[in-house]
Structure 1
Amino acid sequence: MAGALAAAPPRAHLPGLLLGVVGTALAVLGLGDAALLPLLAVAMLLGAMFVVLDYGFTGGFRRLLVDRDGRTLGASFIVPAVAALAILPIGTLVEGFGRFVAPIGPPLVVGAALFGIGMQIASGCGSGTLVAMGQGSRRMWVALPFFCLGGVLGSLVLPAALRLPNLGAVDLPAVFGTWGGLAVTEGLLLAGALLVLRGARPQRDKVLAGLAVGVVVVLLFLVSGMPWGITMGLTLWGGQAVQALGLDLTRFEFWAGGWTREALEGPLLALHGSLTNIGLVLGALLAAAAQGRLRHGTPIGWRGAAGAAIGGLLMGVGARLSFGCNVGAFLGGASSGSLHGFVWVLAAMPGCWVGIRLRPLFGLR
């Protein structure tokens, strides 16, 4: 009991902790640009909400494939349904805002399957890794650097993979018009949820949580100009680390020019996804501390560490090949009206099935 109590900071000192963490973060991050502060604030809010609402994506796949219970995963379709109401029309019609649209082909399918394996043996996806890190999870502190490294490895093969035969991008607003594309998008999300639920009624708390998260995802889009993405920020962290070790990534096609080279050679926070990742960790840290739910005292063991490392590496490679994770590919793609977001979920399922059966090797049930 004493050890459990010692793991959580005294609530009486919580205001000081909040101010200290935020102040230190701002100083370390060098946020001299006041325009970045709303982005950091919304990302921190999102990280806190994931902890308070106990929200995540990985467990929903597992409950569907193991217990045949689709209520959790079915409720997660609410998030892109809410986000699409703003992201699709604003990203299509308003200058200065963008959407995530990507081609459907072998990289997407293979990458999503690899990501599915990785998130099950690491026991966390992109957002789950960062949120659990903020909560103090030792497993995710192991998974993160390998996730970043995997993103770099995936970036090296992505240009060649994109030259394989593919169906191209299927942009629903381009096919059906802005409002027709929105209607088709919402219809596909509803059909996906009903298919997963198979007649069951989703849990009320998960539905409400999905609605709340969807609203904050819209807010993040409004302050950043793009849908929420995680994995490119992690790939950039890995890329800058590799550069610092002396390997010139600009010799490789992915990093040779354009915005990726600018991000690689520029400040770490030049990419909004990098800043939102940091905000997600900080928000989760503050929420976990406030609730006495820090997890840094939970042991991991060598099998858990191995699963985290291998899972992180697979998630990094898979995310780069498939243009993101549950957040960037599914949530960002579907809410943008891009068909690749829906294909990503279907392709991730077999990977999750394999990953679930590998979990006992790494000490997971």
Structure 2
Amino acid sequence: MASLVLPRPHWPGLLLGLAGVALVLALLPQPAKLPVFAVALALGVAFVLLDYGFAGGYRALLEQGDGRALGASFIAPAVAALVVLPVGLLAEGFGRFVAPIGLPLLGGAMVFGVGMQLANGCGSGTLVAAGQGSRRMWVALPFFCLGGVLGSLMVPAAMRLPDLGVVDFGALLGPWGGLAATLAVLLAGALLVLRGAWPSAAALRAGAIIGVLAGLMFLASGLPWGITTGLTLWGAKVAMMMGADMPAAAFWAEGWTRAALEGPVLALDSSLADVGLLLGALLAAAAQGRLRHRQPLGLRGAAGAALGGVLMGVGARLAFGCNVGAFLGGGASGSLHGVLWVAATLPGCWLGIRLRPVFGLPTSPGPAAPPPHPPRSPPSALPAP
């Protein structure tokens, strides 16, 4: 009879993660934020245990014509929509991510797609892989924050460009009609990507779990889950420490962005959730002895991570989020921009894939690409995160 081999924990990493959790709990600005942090920790653990990610799914579709991984990701906003759309419309104190369809969305998503392929991960993927110890993502992360700041400076001008307005199924059809339309659009998007193939049960189950946790994050915070607003805030805080007058910029001058800039870094739900996602990934990876801190990173790889991080930060700010905030959050909110974000990202991914060899990255996701994962980042003209 074969013996059961238990994972050997990486104790220094596990202790570091626990110390990080204790520090966050000590610095938590108010007890009401605890559910947000708890769900974020659970998301970090889930991403690691499920091996959930987006970038490989895009490459599988564009290089091999295999849309199973990317198609399976559509179940995440569909599951989250069961909570986000009706509660966001019927209950007070809850909001949704609804954004206009225009040049900022299309151009920003394309830029993000290039960056996602060069960095080898998206917004959530950057934080999860950083929690797992990836050297590449520890290079990409600060540059992602920098790109978010640069993008925030572009947002006011971008929002003056022509657009087609908002397509909000909830506002047009009510909570239940809007939910039905949202699920139908997500199903149509998934079928277009799948093109007759069918994802594995494991991939669908993983997407559903992420969708359930995203729904819980919505109930805990009052808004759909988002990543990039928190990263942009981190960059803006560092810029202020270095002498930049961020409140003088239009994006940061008033409203929730000004309050976030002046308040504690953990007071913004997106920022707190980003910390929780990273720590949850660290705890899960360390408990299984699966830290990636020993993987080497050459100069070309570091350059690709830095450039990819900047492009993702800029693109996410202009496109109202990344795979989590725009696709998952927008899609679950009944906003058509969430599904169109995926379509607009594909040309950028196509270009990024062709640039990957320049930075020493492979162009094929391999025979078993991980299932995709997921964004948050409305500009100040949109609902606060």
- Normalising by structure 2, report the TM-score: 0.90
8 Å contact from structure 2 (residues 18, 283) kept in 1: no
- The alpha carbon displacement at 1:78 in A equals 0.3
Which residue of 2 is the match for residue 182 of structure 1?
Answer: 179
Q: Could you tell me how far apart the structure 1 residues matched to 2:10 and 2:153 are? A: 47
Matched, 1:79 2:76: yes
Among 159, 164, 178, the residue aligned to 2:156: 159
Structure 1 runs of 4+ with >4 Å offset: 8-11, 13-19
Output the amino acid matched with 1:108.
L
Deviations 1:52-109 (A, max 9, x none): 0000111111100011100000100000000000000000110011100011111100
Q: Give the direction of change, closer, same or farther, for the CA distance of 1:202–1:166 in structure 2 (3 Å limit).
A: same
Q: What is the correspondence of 1:53-202 to structure 2 with a 5 Å cutoff?
A: 53-202=50-199
Which residue of 1 is the match for residue 243 of structure 2?
Answer: 246
Q: Could you tell me how far apart the structure 1 residues matched to 2:82 and 2:206 are? A: 17
Q: Could you tell me how far apart the structure 1 residues matched to 2:293 and 2:15 are? A: 20
Q: Could you tell me how far apart the structure 1 residues matched to 2:45 and 2:205 are? A: 16
Matched, 1:206 2:203: yes
Among 208, 213, 217, the residue aligned to 2:214: 217
Output the amino acid matched with 1:249.
M
Q: Could you tell me how far apart the structure 1 residues matched to 2:289 and 2:311 are? A: 32
Q: Could you tell me how far apart the structure 1 residues matched to 2:9 and 2:276 are? A: 20
Q: Give the direction of change, closer, same or farther, for the CA distance of 1:304–1:176 in structure 2 (3 Å limit).
A: same
Q: Could you tell me how far apart the structure 2 residues matched to 1:318 and 1:16 are? A: 35
Q: What is the correspondence of 1:34-45 to structure 2 with a 5 Å cutoff?
A: 34-45=31-42
Which residue of 1 is the match for residue 379 of structure 2?
Answer: none
Which residue of 1 is the match for residue 273 of structure 2?
Answer: 276
- The alpha carbon displacement at 1:15 in A equals 7.7
Q: Could you tell me how far apart the structure 2 residues matched to 1:291 and 1:284 are? A: 11
SS, match of residue 164 in structure 1: coil
Q: Could you tell me how far apart the structure 2 residues matched to 1:176 and 1:17 are? A: 49
- The alpha carbon displacement at 1:14 in A equals 8.7
- Normalising by structure 1, report the TM-score: 0.95
- The alpha carbon displacement at 1:110 in A equals 0.4
8 Å contact from structure 2 (residues 151, 318) kept in 1: yes
- The alpha carbon displacement at 1:16 in A equals 5.8
Identical counterparts, % of pairs: 67
Output the amino acid matched with 1:336.
S
Q: Could you tell me how far apart the structure 1 residues matched to 2:47 and 2:129 are? A: 10
Matched, 1:363 2:360: yes
- The alpha carbon displacement at 1:343 in A equals 1.2
Gaps in structure 2 of 5+ consecutive residues: 1-7, 363-385
Which residue of 1 is the match for residue 322 of structure 2?
Answer: 325
- The alpha carbon displacement at 1:33 in A equals 1.8
Q: Give the direction of change, closer, same or farther, for the CA distance of 1:148–1:18 in structure 2 (3 Å limit).
A: closer
Q: Give the direction of change, closer, same or farther, for the CA distance of 1:151–1:35 in structure 2 (3 Å limit).
A: same
8 Å contact from structure 2 (residues 230, 271) kept in 1: yes
8 Å contact from structure 2 (residues 10, 288) kept in 1: no
Q: Could you tell me how far apart the structure 2 residues matched to 1:325 and 1:305 are? A: 22
Flag the structure with higher helix content: 1
The count of aligned residue pairs is: 355
Q: Give the direction of change, closer, same or farther, for the CA distance of 1:84–1:10 in structure 2 (3 Å limit).
A: closer
Which residue of 2 is the match for residue 4 of structure 1?
Answer: none
Q: Indicate the larger mover: 129-138 or 170-179.
A: 170-179
- The alpha carbon displacement at 1:18 in A equals 5.9
Gaps in structure 1 of 5+ consecutive residues: 1-7
Q: Could you tell me how far apart the structure 1 residues matched to 2:243 and 2:328 are? A: 36
Q: Could you tell me how far apart the structure 1 residues matched to 2:240 and 2:177 are? A: 45
Output the amino acid matched with 1:63.
A
- The alpha carbon displacement at 1:26 in A equals 2.5
Q: Could you tell me how far apart the structure 1 residues matched to 2:300 and 2:149 are? A: 25
Q: Could you tell me how far apart the structure 1 residues matched to 2:236 and 2:177 are? A: 40
Q: Could you tell me how far apart the structure 2 residues matched to 1:89 and 1:127 are? A: 26
Output the amino acid matched with 2:23.
T
Output the amino acid matched with 1:87.
V
Q: Could you tell me how far apart the structure 1 residues matched to 2:10 and 2:222 are? A: 39
Q: Could you tell me how far apart the structure 2 residues matched to 1:16 and 1:140 are? A: 21
